Structure 1
């Protein structure tokens, strides 16, 4: 019995030693190559590839990048909106100036409906819509098939002019065009041709305005609206980007009509070009 108890005691005491002997001993210097702690890759969730560790971007990092991209895009859109607003404001200002200019011209004498007196100013260098000089009598209005009736012509002309005062420029343009087709040799024709140009310019129809203004000097070379029509033609050419043509027309206005208000305006515009 004593022999058995002694054997069990020896066996029990020897068990911890055997357990300790089963635990492997790790040399930190051998496994980490430098004894650093914690070991490389500790706390990462990436996979080793080619000896390095690739860690995916965190959710917070991706969200930050998306927000940054959205802010950049928002800034770009704001810049575009500001440019468009500036352009709209510029167009509004131009439209307002055209209306004001038209109102001043209406108040200056066109509203009465009386035909403008002709003047023989020696105009030998009228300019067509393209800016090239033409002879003043190169083209005369075709004879009307309807006999002249000054009273009827005045009613027709006044009705067209009333459309300008009502700011109904589309109908005014149609009315003046119809008047000129029906009464091309009327005493009101020169005025109608000029106001057709004004209406088209106010509408923003630069091509139509240029053609209408040019025809004043071509068809009615001695009409007192010729200086104004040439000045307005220069304005149209400038708006179309034809600076050289505009300068040539303005110089002609100054040279041929030195005492006119159109010449004073032409001198001012030449200094700006």
Structure 2
């Protein structure tokens, strides 16, 4: 009797363990609705109809995302290289502009001194020097009524404006030359001042202002020695503005009217480049 009770007790205790042993273990809490893996035991954890991505599908998505990122990086690199090229081009143009200005600065001081000497000789000959290059009498075509002539004051004013160019303070230099021309439009330095007004406007990127200033040299001071240079620079401004036809006409004018000058030589070179 005791033996039977023991057998019953052992069976009762082992029954829960046997029941737990029959419960199937599922990976990720998904299944086919029956509580058992699809296709029988021994699967890798990917169940049919369970919506779980297979390793190959996940790898495909990662590869697609990687390709998209590589394409975006390539596009960004292309944009960056283009911007770097634009910046380099602008730097080169600015450098060439300043180098050209420095060359003209070295020759401008001598030209200003020559203009002063010629204007003095012109005054002694009752204006006969009006036809001489750089003479103050050649500036008689200037418009406007400024202050009475005062050579000493004019020279101080002009030199102060020219010093601003040497200091590369182009904004103030432009203002100073414009003020000088308003006060002394008939000065012996007016032709040079008008030309350098164009140069400083060009140096600071004001193409419209530079073109107007260069054009006025030949209009207001037709006999001045700076006329060939001002016309050449006017053609350069027109090229920068994209008006090649206008530039060609001006360059041809320089070559025809001022042969043998440095401006004519430069005009011949530029005329061949823009054809």
Q: Could you list the per-position Cα deviations for residues 158-217 of structure 1 after superposition, in whole angstroms to 9, with x for gaps in the alignment? A: 000000001111110111011111111111010000000000111111111001000001
**Residue 109 (structure 1) shift:** 3.4
> Which residue is equivalent to 1:255?
256
Q: How is 1:68-83 mapped onto 2 (pairs within 5 angstroms)?
A: 68-83=67-82
Report the secondary structure of 1:89's partner residue. helix
- For these two proteins, the number of residue pairs brought into alignment is 213
For 2:93 and 2:225, the matched residues in 1 are separated by 27
Matched, 1:103 2:105: no
Q: Name 2:149's counterpart in structure 1.
A: 148
Cross-structure match for 1:26: none
Alpha carbons 1:214, 1:233 under 8 Å: kept: yes
Alignment deviations for residues 64-110 of structure 1 (CA, whole Å, 9 cap, x no partner): 21111111011011111111111111111111111111111111133
Shift in CA distance, 63/181, structure 1 to aligned 2, threshold 3 Å: same
What is the match of residue 207 of structure 1? Answer: 208
Please give the per-residue CA displacement for 1:99-156, whole angstroms capped at 9, x wherever unaligned. Answer: 111111111133674363577489xxxxxxxxxxxxx99x741111x21100000000
Aligned equivalent of 1:10 = none
Q: Distance in 1 between matches of 2:48 and 2:178?
A: 81
Give the root-mean-square deviation of aligned CA atoms.
Answer: 2.8
* Separation of aligned partners in 2, 1:162 and 1:119: 28
Q: Which residue of 2 aligns with 1:224?
A: 225
2 CA distance for matches of 1:55 and 1:216?
82
CA distance in 2, matches of 1:111, 1:45: 94
- Residue 247 of structure 1 aligns to a residue in which SS? helix
Partner Cα separation in structure 1 for residue 220 and residue 56 of structure 2: 79
* Structure-2 change in CA distance of 1:229 and 1:119 (3 Å): farther
Q: TM-score, normalised by structure 2?
A: 0.71
The residue aligned with 2:160 is 159
Match of 1:5 in 2: none
Q: What TM-score comes out, normalization by structure 1 length?
A: 0.71
- Cα shift at 1:56: 10
Structure possessing the higher relative contact order (Cα contacts under 8 Å, 6 or more residues apart):
1
User: Does structure 2 conserve the Cα–Cα contact (< 8 Å) formed by 1:227 and 1:262?
Assistant: yes
1:62 aligns to what? Answer: 61
- Residue 233 of structure 1 corresponds to 234
1:254–1:120 distance in 2 versus 1, CA, 3 Å: farther
**CA deviations over 1:2-55 (Å, ceiling 9, x no partner):** xxxxxxxxxxxxxxxxxxxxxxxxxxxxxxxxxxxx9xxx9875649xxxxx98
**Secondary structure, aligned partner of 1:114:** helix
2:175 is matched with 174
